[in-house]
Amino acid sequence: MIVIFVDNIEDFISFLNRRVMNEVFYEIKRSKSNNDLASEVKIELILHFLSKVEEFMVLFETKVDISKSNHPASNQDQEIIVELQRIFNQVDTSINLIKGKIREIYLSFST
């Protein structure tokens, strides 16, 4: 498998037409800049999908850093995913965002 990390979200979106399935997987990682409850929360959104080039599987991946103010009452993760789904629907309505990861596992067999 080949892994291509795309630095720019717009370029990542331009590669979506090469995917082999309609699912785009996402992970959300959160971190606070300090322990103050009123501080900003840094959200790292990681997106990836599978593609195929000739006989090789290709994993396209990108990362988006988002800063939001910390409002415990709001559901920031869901708001981000709804907005992202809206953007993907403008590209292709068949794209489904799935919370999860794509990881490659290498197996070695000896005879």
CA distances from 91 to 28, 86, 87, 94 (A): 22, 9, 7, 9
Rounded to an integer, what distance in angstroms lies between the CA atom of residue 65 and that of residue 36?
20
Rounded to an integer, what distance in angstroms lies between the CA atom of residue 34 and that of residue 26?
25
Q: Is 26 domain-assigned?
A: yes
Q: Is 67 domain-assigned?
A: yes
Q: Is 107 domain-assigned?
A: no
User: pLDDT tens digit string along 15-74?
Assistant: 999 999 999 999 998 876 655 555 677 889 999 999 988 888 899 999 998 887 766 646
- Range of 40's domain? 2-99
Q: Is 108 domain-assigned?
A: no
Q: Is 110 domain-assigned?
A: no
Residues whose CB falls within 8 Å of the CB of residue 39, separated by 6 or more in sequence, listed in order: 32, 33, 70
Q: Is 104 domain-assigned?
A: no
Q: What is the pTM of this model?
A: 0.79
- Looking at the structure of the chain, the number of domains it has is 1
User: pLDDT tens digit string along 18-34?
Assistant: 999 999 999 998 876 65
Confidence of residue 13 (pLDDT cuts 50, 70, 90): very high
Q: Is 11 domain-assigned?
A: yes
Q: Is 63 domain-assigned?
A: yes
